[in-house]
Amino acid sequence: MNTKFRINLISISLSLISTLLIVFVFLLILNKNPFEIFSVIFTEVFASGYGIGQTLFKATPLIICGCGLAVCFHASLFNIGAEGQLNAGSFVIALVALKAGSLPFPILFILCIVCGFVVSGITGIIPAYIKIKKGVSEVITTIMLNFIILALVNYFLVDFFAVKATMHTEKIADSNMLMKFSDIFPFFEGSSLNMSFVIALLLAFASYIFIYKTKFGYKLRAAGFNETASRYIGININKVILLSFFTGAGITSLAGINYIFGYKGFYEMGFSSNVGFTAIAVALLARNNPLGIIFSSLLFAVLDYGGLSVNQLVPKEIMLVVQGIIILSILAVDRIVKSYFEKRGIA
Amino acid sequence: MELISSVISLTFLAQVLRLMTPYYLGASGANFSERGGVINIAIEGFMNLAAFSFVLFSILTGNVTAGFICAVLINLLFSLFFSYFTVKLKINQIVTGVGFNLLIAGLTKFLLVYIFNSSSNTERFEGIPDLEIFKGIPFAGTVLSDYMTIFCFALIFISGFVLFRTKYGLRLRSAGENPYAAESLGVNVRLYKLSGILISGFLSSLAGIWLASNQNSYSDGMIAGRGYIALAAMIIGKWKPVNIFFACLIFSAFEALEITLQISGTDFPTQLIQMLPYLITVLVLVGFIGKTKPPAADGVPY
C-alpha cells in the first residue's frame, strides 16, 4: 500500500511537470512569455484574500462533481454525462427551493438536496440500464443524454420558469441563502466563497468512506477491477452498475448548491460552464481518490481563476488546452512509471 | 399536412442521402479501428480537428485543396498519437479517446479565439465546389453533386471488400477477434491495429471536412456529437458496412426532419426539435433487438 502510494505520487508529480513543460513550449511557440503568464496567475490567485476566496469558490463544484465521477470511475463506468446530470439536478434544486421557500431552512435545504440527488440519479440510471440490457458503452449514451438533458432543461426553463427575457429562474429568498465566508472572516472580503465549500469537503470525506470503507464500496471497486472475478465471488454486477451510476450521478447534482444557495440564488442556463467535463480531469488526476480530488480541484480552480486574470495576455481558453494535456499526460506518464517499477519488481 | 408532404418528397430523400455523408464516413472509420480491436471514441474529436484545420488552412492559403491536404495530414498525425497511447502504451482506449476529445475541443476553442478573434465562428470561405457532371438531372443531380457523398456509396463496397475479401481485412479482423492467435500465426497485430486507427483518422477527417465545407465556415461545437452518433450507428449496424449504412440513414433522416421542422416554423418548441437526433440515438440503442456483439477483443489492449 505504501509503495503503491509512493509510486502514485511520483507519477502524478511527473505528469504535472510534463504538462508544465508542454504548456511552456506551447506558449513559447505562440511567442508569449510563459514566466510572465505564470507569475500573473500566481500573484492574482495568492496575493489577496479575494483571490484565494474566489479560487476556493471555483474549486467547490469541482470537488463535488469529481467525487460523483470517482464513484462511477471506480466501478469502471466511464460516465462523461456529468454536465447534463448536474444541470438536471441543479435545476430541480432551484425550483424546489423556490416553491417550498416557506419551509424552515434546514428542512428546505435537505429537501432540495434529496430532490436534486434523485433527479440526477435517475438520469444516471438510464445509461446504466442501456449498458446492462444492450451492452452499449455508457460513453455514447451519457454524451447523448448531455444534449438531451440540456435541451429539456432549456425548454422547461424558457417556456415555464424563467424570469422574462432572462435565462434564469426567480431568486430564492435571501433568508434561505447560505452564509458567505466573508461574513465571518473579513479576509475574504468581496469573494463569493460560501458554506458550500465546507459541504464539498464533508462530501469528499463521506465519499472516501463510502468508496474505501463500506461493503458496497468494496463491491464497486471489485467490479471495476475485475468483472469476471467479482461475478464469480457472487457480486451482482448489474446491481453495482445501477447503484454506482445512480449514486455518482446523484452526487453531481449537489454542485448546483454552490451557485444557487451560495452565490446567485437562482438556476441559470450555462451556470456550470463545463464543470462536468473538467471534473473528469480532476478525478483522473487524483486517481479517483476523493481526498486527492480536493487537491486536484484546487489546482484546476487556480487554473480557472488564473486563466481569467491572464486573458489580456493570452485567451483564457488556453486553460482548456491545459486540461486536455493534463489528462493525456497523466495517462501516459502513469503507464510509463508503472512499467518502469514493474520491470524492477518493485510494484 | 404541409409538413407531411414536404417529408414525402424527393427533395427530402436527397437531403437524407446528403446528410448521411458525415455519419457514414465517421462510422466506417470507427469500424476499421474496432475491427482491429481498438475502440475509437476520439472520432468526435478527429472530426472536430479536421473541420477546424480545413477551414484554417483553406483561409490561410486561399486554396481548398491545400486546406484539405493539411486537414488530412494533421488528422493522421493525431491518429498516430492516438495509437501510441492505445497500442504502444496499451492505455485504456475509452479514457484515451475522451482525453483526446477534450484536448481537441480545447485546442480548437483556443485557436479560434487566438487566430480568428472570435469565440463562436470563423469568417466564411468557399468550400469544396460541387461536381457539375450530373447537374440538371432531377434528384440524382442533387445527391451526386457532392464528391464525398459519392465516395460514401463507393465506401460501402470498398470497406465490405477490404474487410471481408482481402488478406489485409482478414488479418485486421483477426487482430480484433483474437490477437494472441493472430500473433502466433505471424500477424504483426500492433501494425494492423495502427493501420485500422489511421484509416479511422483519415475517414473521420473527411467527415469533418464535409461538415465545414457545407457550412462554409467553422463554428465552435459544430460537430455536435455527430462522432458519437456515428459510433452508435456502427453499433446498431453490427460492425457490418451495409448495415451501418442503413443505420446512418436513420440518423440522417431525423436530422433532415429536424431541419424541415425548423424551416416549416411549427409551434413545436425549437429546443425539443434540436434534441431529436440525440433522443432518437438513445431510443434506437434501447429499441433495437438483441445485445450488441462487438469484435471479441474490442477494447482489450494488446
ipTM value for the complex: 0.90
Model confidence band, residue A71 (pLDDT cutoffs 50, 70, 90) = very high
CA distances from A4 to A10, A337, A341 (A): 10, 12, 10
Residue of chain A whose alpha carbon sits nearest to that of B228: A140
B279 contact residues in A (CB cutoff 8 A) = 144, 148
* pLDDT given for residue B120 in this prediction: 86
> Per-residue pLDDT tens for A90-111?
999 999 999 998 899 999 999 9
With a cut of 70, say whether residue B137 has pLDDT above it: yes
Asked whether the beta carbons of A230 and A219 are under 8 A apart, the reply is yes
* Distance (Å, whole) CA A64 – CA B265: 41
With a cut of 90, say whether residue A65 has pLDDT above it: yes
* pLDDT given for residue B264 in this prediction: 80
* pLDDT given for residue A341 in this prediction: 87
* Distance (Å, whole) CA B140 – CA B11: 10
Name which of A244, A248, A254 is nearest A115 in CA terms. A254
Taking CB atoms and an 8 Å cut-off, how many pairs form between chains A and B?
136
* pLDDT given for residue B141 in this prediction: 73
Inter-chain residue contact B285 with A158, CB threshold 8 Å: no
* Distance (Å, whole) CA B285 – CA B191: 32
Residue of chain B whose alpha carbon sits nearest to that of A30: B114
> Per-residue pLDDT tens for A299-308?
999 988 888 8
Q: Which residues form the domain of B197?
A: 2-287
A154 contact residues in B (CB cutoff 8 A) = 271
Q: What's the mean pLDDT when you consider all of chain A?
A: 91
Number of domain units in chain B = 1
| Residue A249 is assigned to a structural domain of this protein | yes
With a cut of 90, say whether residue A57 has pLDDT above it: yes
Inter-chain residue contact B89 with A324, CB threshold 8 Å: no
Question: Does the beta carbon of B113 lie under 8 angstroms from any beta carbon of chain A?
Answer: yes
| Residue A337 is assigned to a structural domain of this protein | no
Most confidently modeled range among A32-46, B34-48, B267-281, B284-298: B34-48
| Residue A119 is assigned to a structural domain of this protein | yes
A141 contact residues in B (CB cutoff 8 A) = 282, 285
- Mean pLDDT score, A137-162: 92
| Residue A14 is assigned to a structural domain of this protein | no
| Residue A21 is assigned to a structural domain of this protein | no
Model confidence band, residue B273 (pLDDT cutoffs 50, 70, 90) = confident
* pLDDT given for residue B184 in this prediction: 92
Number of domain units in chain A = 1
With a cut of 90, say whether residue B99 has pLDDT above it: yes
Residue of chain A whose alpha carbon sits nearest to that of B236: A136
Give the CATH number for residue B66: 1.10.3470
* pLDDT given for residue B289 in this prediction: 59
With a cut of 80, say whether residue A35 has pLDDT above it: yes
Residue scoring higher pLDDT (B15 or B8) = B15
| Residue B296 is assigned to a structural domain of this protein | no
B239 contact residues in A (CB cutoff 8 A) = none
| Residue A84 is assigned to a structural domain of this protein | yes
Question: Does the beta carbon of B232 lie under 8 angstroms from any beta carbon of chain A?
Answer: yes
Q: Which residues form the domain of A153?
A: 55-172+195-309
The 8-class DSSP code of residue A186 comes to: G
Asked whether the beta carbons of A193 and A199 are under 8 A apart, the reply is no
Which residue in the set A130, A319, A328 is minimally distant from B103, CB to CB?
A328
With a pLDDT cut of 90, the percent of chain B lying above it is 67
Q: Could you list the beta-strand ranges (E) of A208-342.
A: none
| Residue A317 is assigned to a structural domain of this protein | no
- Mean pLDDT score, A314-328: 89
Model confidence band, residue B6 (pLDDT cutoffs 50, 70, 90) = low
